[in-house]
A and B are shown apart, each in its own frame.
Chain A
Amino acid sequence: MSAKRTNLDWPDIRRRLKASDQALDRAMRPDRRRIELAYERRARELAQRREQQPMAPGRLHLVCHLLQERYAIDARQIAEIVPMRGCSPIPGAPEMLLGVTSGRGEVWSVISLRSLLGLERESATIGGLLLLLRNCPGVGVRVDGADDLKWIADADFSAPGDTLRAELAAHCRGVTPDGLIHLNTDDLPLTNDGDIPA
């Protein structure tokens, strides 16, 4: 049983409601000064970002994730990231092939990266993102989500160790200190002698 409530301070409630209304009203009104402050903030951030340009050699990587694992893929290997809106399974197709999907008049084969990396295979109806690879036109690998583009220096990658599972270790180039797994899509067995439609 809750503690006995004391009598409400209705004047205080009314004051709070009035303050909320006023705050909402201010927020709803277009404020030129707010926009100018945003531009100034943008300019400062841009300036900071330029100052923070990493000089160490490295590359821009796409950080994506499958279930709880986070992967870094060289951005140059990716042609495009498209949202996956359904996938039509192909009967008799290999396990790593989820199915095919279409977009902008094109048909892409959808590879289950989970299957390739030894994770539990997802359903064909699941959403997520499709990474269209440059080296494999018409083929895309499905990931659960793409988090960010991150510049990672080459020196940041370290040897993966023995804890990775065999499927993953086979395709992992390195691991960053924060747990990103460097994944090289060129190493992925994305063709299977005709089983995967081009």
Chain B
Amino acid sequence: MRITIGMKLAFGVGVIVVLMAISSVVVYNAMAQVEQAASDTAEKAFPTEVACKELRAALNNSLSALQGYMSVGADPDEAATLKGERAKAWTQIDDALGQLAALSKEWTRAEDRQDLMTIRQAASAFRATQNRIEQIAQRSDNNRGYHIMLTDAAPKSQRMLDLVTAIINEEVRQTDRESQSRLLAALLDARASLNSGMSSMRAFLLSGDESFTERFDESWRQNGEALPLVAEQMPLMTVEQKRNWDIFVQVRKDLDALTADMLQARRADDWNRAAHLLRTEAMPQRQTIRDAVERLNTSAEQWVAQDRASLAEAAKVANVTLVVSMLLVLLVGSGVAFMMGRSIVISAQRLAERARAIAAGDLRGEEVRVQGNDEIADLAGTFNTMTANLKELSGQIHSVTKNINSSASEIVASTQQQAASTKEQAASLSQISTTMEEISQSGEQVSENAKRVAVAAEEASTSSVAGVKAVKDTNATMEAIREQVEEVAENIVALSEKTQAVGEIIATVGDIAEQSNLLALNAGIEAASADVRGGRFGVVAAEMKNLADQAKRCTVQVRSILGEIQKGINTSVMLTEEAVKRVEMGKHQADVTERTIDQMSQATQESVQTFQQIIGATNQQQIGLSQVNQGMQDIRQAAEQTAIGTSQLEKAAASLDALSQQLQTAVGRYRL
């Protein structure tokens, strides 16, 4: 079986890979434990601790707010602020309890879950107790003794004070007698002791200091001793004073009972109900919660400690595994590499020694023998084959080199001739190319000129089209003029005919004038023959003659005017006829112009087409010339390249000759 270097390498690498895989698995497991521990710590233990701390802080805040409300809640602004803080603290408590409830799903200890339940129950009771305290803290009946003072005792003492003050004031207004001074002193004592006693009672109710009760007792006793003294002096009182004093005494009795109640109320444990509730219920509840939270927190801390221990253990295992695996890999890898390298190096050294001998020119040595059937053995066999072939090749090269020398000399001579003829060819091509360039430039000029002429012809064609249109418009206008002129002529002829009618009328009038003239002459003749009797008739005849003469003159004038009118009509008709003829001539000329323009336009179009054909032919000629020129260029380049190639060939032939000499010299170095 053939075991190649690759298989050996693969075996070694495989061993290393297996060792690394084993160590990786171990390390992976260890890291998994670490990850799990870290996860537990991060997601379960720490959040529990944090929630417990938040719960404790919120509980303290709620209690502080409640106590603050109990102290300064009388102020509405302070009360609102403190209530808000307590509500906010309870919101935090609810959030913390919610977090703990969510985290409790991951807890493993039943005691922790039990503690959480205890906390929730206690918190609920604590909340209710705080609410009750808040409700009663600022009520007047929270402090029972003080409530009795405010509602009952204080009004009564004030009443007593007013009564005794009234009595005193009345007494002061009386005449200053020695007997009444005793009454006044007693009254003053009663009032002073009453004030002192009430003050002491208030102080005791507020502070609870028993020393104030002693002062009260003393003041109340003094007040009681003042009563009989005043009673003795009652005959000195006025009716009003007496009535007031009676009321004073009665009210004192009522107040006396109240003082005992106030003292008792103050001395009781629940003298302040809110504080009592706080002390007896709220604080124990808070403690219960705190204890449970503490246990929960302790459990969480233990959990964290366990997780840390697991983390440390897992890390330690991972480190050890990693170090051991690295050492194993190192040892195994080194052993495999050494063994494999050794076998490869020995074979390579043998091959290198043989290669050096061959490089020195000695092809006579024996074959290189290598054990094994791997790539190195293949390389040795191939090297031996190469050596044998090299020996054979050197012999062949030696004989061929001689032939190459002679052929190279012949090639050099031929290439020299070819180079000379190629240069001549390139010179001729250059001349032809220059000539083609000149022809191409001429063609371009012709094309440009043809384009300019074509453009001008196009413009002329456009102008002729416009001219034809103008001529047609002129024709139409002239036709319209002709029609109008003919219409004018017809109107004039109609006028002439009417003039003729007027002439006939004038002729009739002339006839009448002649006849009238004749009649007048006859009348005159008859009048002349009648002598005197014909005088009036002669006047009539004369008038008739006059009228006939007027008619004749008017007829002459009208005839003259009619003659002028007729002349004018004739002239107008002649002018009209002439105008029509001129219009006809103009129209004819316009038609001729139109035909001429059409012919010019056609000629221009034909010229344009011809020029365009010229342009096309010229362009094609240019293209052809360009192609010819390009071809000439290519031929010239090819000739130049041929010349260059021939020159290079000549050089190559010379160098070939030189190389063959060198080859012969080099081959001669090898000893066969």
Q: Say whether A associates with B.
A: yes
A residues whose Cβ falls under 8 Å from a Cβ of B: 42, 45-46, 49, 59-60, 62, 75-76, 78-83, 129, 134, 146, 148-149
| A80 and B524 contacting across the interface, CB-CB below 8 Å | no
| B518 and A149 contacting across the interface, CB-CB below 8 Å | no
Question: Using Cβ atoms and an 8 Å threshold, which residues of chain A touch B525?
Answer: 62, 75-76, 78-81, 149
Q: How far is the CA of A15 from the CA of B515 in the complex (A)?
A: 40
B29 within 8 A of A: no
Q: How far is the CA of A62 from the CA of B528 in the complex (A)?
A: 10
Q: Mark B528-539, 1 if CB is under 8 A from A, else 0.
A: 110000000001
The answer, among A49, A60, A129, A134, for a CB contact under 8 Å with B524, is: A60
Closest residue on chain A to residue B518 by CB atoms: A81
If A80-B522, A81-B525, A83-B515 are given as contacts, then 17 extra A-B residue pairs at C-beta distance below 8 Å, sorted by A number, are A45-B546, A49-B542, A59-B528, A62-B521, A62-B524, A62-B525, A76-B525, A76-B528, A78-B525, A80-B525, A81-B521, A83-B514, A146-B518, A149-B520, A149-B521, A149-B524, A149-B541
**Quick one: which of B202-242 are within 8 Å of A by CB?**
none
**Quick one: which of B512-565 are within 8 Å of A by CB?**
514-515, 517-518, 520-522, 524-525, 528-529, 539, 541-543, 545-546
> Total contacts A to B, CB within 8 angstroms?
44
Q: How far is the CA of A46 from the CA of B536 in the complex (A)?
A: 12
Question: Using Cβ atoms and an 8 Å threshold, which residues of chain A touch B539?
Answer: 46
Question: Using Cβ atoms and an 8 Å threshold, which residues of chain A touch B529?
Answer: 75-76, 134
The answer, among B520, B528, B546, for a CB contact under 8 Å with A75, is: B528
CB proximity of A80 to chain B, nearest CB, Å: 6
Question: Using Cβ atoms and an 8 Å threshold, which residues of chain B touch A49?
Answer: 542
Closest residue on chain A to residue B545 by CB atoms: A149
B residues whose Cβ falls under 8 Å from a Cβ of A: 514-515, 517-518, 520-522, 524-525, 528-529, 539, 541-543, 545-546
| B528 and A148 contacting across the interface, CB-CB below 8 Å | no
Which of the listed residues A45, A49, A60, A76 has the most CB atoms from chain B within 10 Å of its own CB? A60
Q: How far is the CA of A176 from the CA of B521 in the complex (A)?
A: 21
Closest residue on chain A to residue B526 by CB atoms: A80
Closest residue on chain B to residue A134 by CB atoms: B529
Given A62-B525, A75-B529, the answer on whether A129 and B518 have CB atoms closer than 8 Å is: yes
| B522 and A81 contacting across the interface, CB-CB below 8 Å | yes
Question: Using Cβ atoms and an 8 Å threshold, which residues of chain A touch B543?
Answer: 42, 46
CB proximity of A159 to chain B, nearest CB, Å: 25
| B518 and A83 contacting across the interface, CB-CB below 8 Å | yes
Closest residue on chain A to residue B550 by CB atoms: A38
Question: Using Cβ atoms and an 8 Å threshold, which residues of chain B touch A129?
Answer: 518
Question: Using Cβ atoms and an 8 Å threshold, which residues of chain A touch B521?
Answer: 62, 81, 146, 148-149
Which of the listed residues A59, A134, A148 has the most CB atoms from chain B within 10 Å of its own CB? A148
Closest residue on chain B to residue A151 by CB atoms: B528
Question: Using Cβ atoms and an 8 Å threshold, which residues of chain A touch B541?
Answer: 149
CB proximity of B518 to chain A, nearest CB, Å: 6
Which of the listed residues B517, B520, B522 has the most CB atoms from chain A within 10 Å of its own CB? B522
Could you give 17 example pairs across A and B, Cβ below 8 Å? A42-B543, A46-B539, A62-B521, A62-B524, A75-B525, A76-B525, A78-B525, A80-B525, A81-B522, A83-B514, A129-B518, A134-B529, A148-B545, A149-B520, A149-B524, A149-B525, A149-B541
Given A62-B521, A81-B521, the answer on whether A149 and B546 have CB atoms closer than 8 Å is: no
| A75 and B518 contacting across the interface, CB-CB below 8 Å | no
CB proximity of A185 to chain B, nearest CB, Å: 12
Q: How far is the CA of A19 from the CA of B525 in the complex (A)?
A: 46
Closest residue on chain A to residue B517 by CB atoms: A146
Q: How far is the CA of A46 from the CA of B520 in the complex (A)?
A: 16
Q: How far is the CA of A37 from the CA of B529 in the complex (A)?
A: 33
Question: Using Cβ atoms and an 8 Å threshold, which residues of chain B touch A78?
Answer: 525
Closest residue on chain B to residue A42 by CB atoms: B543
| B518 and A60 contacting across the interface, CB-CB below 8 Å | no
Q: How far is the CA of A76 from the CA of B541 in the complex (A)?
A: 15
Q: How far is the CA of A78 from the CA of B529 in the complex (A)?
A: 9
